Structure 1
Amino acid sequence: MISAEVRFKKLTADFGKTANDYGRHRAGFPDEFFERLKTLGILRAGIRALDLGTGTGTIARGLATRGCEVTGLDRSAPLMEQAAELDRGAGAVVKYVNAAAEETGLAAAEFDLVTAGQCWHWFDRPRAAAEALRVLKPEGRLVIAHFDWIVLPGNMTEATEKLIEKHNPKWKFGGGLGIYPLWLRDMAVAGFVNIETFSFDLDAIYTHEAWRGRIRASAGVGASLEPDRVAAFDDELRAMLAKRYPEDPMRVMHRVFAAIGVVPMIASTKFRAT
């Protein structure tokens, strides 16, 4: 299996190129994820939260609709435009900032919670972890989370991944287990303490059309291929689903994973400087 360090360095992706599909078909984290954060005492109404790599705002919106004061941060204006439109439909209020996770430009010790959903691997991770520590209050939490489809021998997601690799050999994200131990090291090196994780599996429901949109919005397809190559991939995926996996809608196995770190009461001045 290719190491995470290698997989996450081979591909350049611009998710702004696929913002429409991203907004429509990447549903984001399920309610069960937010309920788990509430059970752990991490998510509470009234806290100030910063969502790094917010994309179309799926975590930011989930926090806002549960009573948090939320800032969403991303470098892609098209994705944040989609986020604002989705927020209006959900009755959520989120402030969006165009900036990098490694250098947010925000004040030190300003937030109770920093989240990063489905994006940590795109960052300069040591710098992003140090920046998260800087903007968090003492005893604030960093939550790095994923919601990944899970490949099993012969299942539809395995066939989909093989098709992505056929059309884009640079894509090396396949075969993941939905668990990210390196993120714990990132937190520890930055100075976070009391690090813990949780994970659980559930099925997400997709129609054939929605699955095609979800895959077009992935790093290996719409975010990195030219439009004609995206169209060719989509045609082949449509035909494969119709022939080999005719059930519509489909149940697609996913795994929720989160790594949680706590800012110590007295953090290193190396990271807490303004």
Structure 2
Amino acid sequence: MIHDDKIDGGKGFDWGKASEDYARFRDIYPPEFYQKLLDAGICMKGQKVLDLGTGTGVLPRNLYGCGALFTGADISEEQIGQARQLCAEADMDIPFLCCPAEELPFPDDSFDAVTACQCFFYFNHETLAPKLYHMIKPGGLMAVMYLAWLPGEDAIAGASEKLVLRYNPSWSGCGEYRHPIEIPDVYSAYFQLESSEVFDLRIPFTKESWNGRMKACRGIGASLSPEKTADFEKEHLALLNKIAPENFSVLHYAAAAVLKSKKTSSF
């Protein structure tokens, strides 16, 4: 169980509780999302890439065919278990490590690049920034990615979000709006910002998959009891039957930031 005063008012959450729904319903990033990494020269053939907060291995699994040599790390044993199972089913050779990002054991110059998708704000950056500086090779890259629905502009997302808040008023993942990824000042000693952009995406869903996506958010599956989660699912599906067609899309925004290591030599 994770407790952080800056997240959900300090209410505990555990991604392991939502890992099965996460594996089924959160692999939603479209090709243009991943293309941003490739356009930046990240996750290319032969590169050694560390994916922080890998969850069920969504990013390395989707880019596996590009030829990078991925390693995934996550704090949740259940998430790592799902990642390993999905890779085994797809015959993908991706090693995964269950470990907090701040305690990763890799030596200096282990990776050409590091990715962090949907997880960057969870980390202790005072500890992580210098660790990444040492683990990434000279001139190596780090990409931070994020995707969120826009409840103020999309009626289905807005209605679903209101229901989440009824079940979990302390959830602080609500009210998203377009903004670039904030890179804490501590990184400026080790990395330089190469690019930062924000762009819109429409993500397709069915009633089932959108319900699953909402269940797999931090405010529901990772925080509530199984009984409360089941109550939410029943009420959410009833809501969707009233307001949504069987197939629809939800407006999201995505943000991407690419940083380059200031390290010029391994010595």
Fold conserved between structures, TM > 0.5? yes
Aligned residues of 1:165 and 1:172 also touching (Cα < 8 A): no
Distance 2:50 2:9 in 1: 25
Cα 1:253–1:20 change in 2 (3 A) is: same
Aligned-residue Cα RMSD (Å) equals 2.1
2:215 alignment partner in structure 1: 216
1:109 alignment partner in structure 2: 109
1:84 alignment partner in structure 2: 84
In structure 1, what residue type is equivalent to 2:104?
Answer: T
Distance 1:51 1:98 in 2: 12
2:61 alignment partner in structure 1: 61
1:231 alignment partner in structure 2: 230
SS of residue matched to 1:92: coil
2:254 alignment partner in structure 1: 256
1:125 alignment partner in structure 2: 125
Cα 1:148–1:96 change in 2 (3 A) is: same
1:34 alignment partner in structure 2: 34
Cα 1:46–1:33 change in 2 (3 A) is: same
Cα 1:13–1:253 change in 2 (3 A) is: same
Deviations 1:228-256, CA, capped at 9 Å, x for gaps = 111111111111111122x1111111222
| Structure 2 runs not aligned, ≥5 long | none
Q: Which runs of 4+ in 1 moved over 6 A?
A: none
| Structure 1 runs not aligned, ≥5 long | none
- Equivalent positions of 1:143-158 (< 5 A) are 143-153=143-153, 155-158=155-158
Cα 1:184–1:65 change in 2 (3 A) is: farther
Aligned residues of 1:114 and 1:143 also touching (Cα < 8 A): yes
In structure 1, what residue type is equivalent to 2:214?
Answer: I
Aligned residues of 1:63 and 1:70 also touching (Cα < 8 A): no
Cα 1:103–1:33 change in 2 (3 A) is: same
How many percent of aligned residue pairs carry the same amino acid?
32
Q: Normalized against structure 1, the TM-score is what?
A: 0.89
Aligned residues of 2:154 and 2:251 also touching (Cα < 8 A): no
2:94 alignment partner in structure 1: 94
Aligned residues of 1:165 and 1:171 also touching (Cα < 8 A): yes
Cα 1:118–1:166 change in 2 (3 A) is: same
Aligned residues of 2:8 and 2:170 also touching (Cα < 8 A): no
1:73 alignment partner in structure 2: 73
Aligned residues of 1:46 and 1:69 also touching (Cα < 8 A): yes
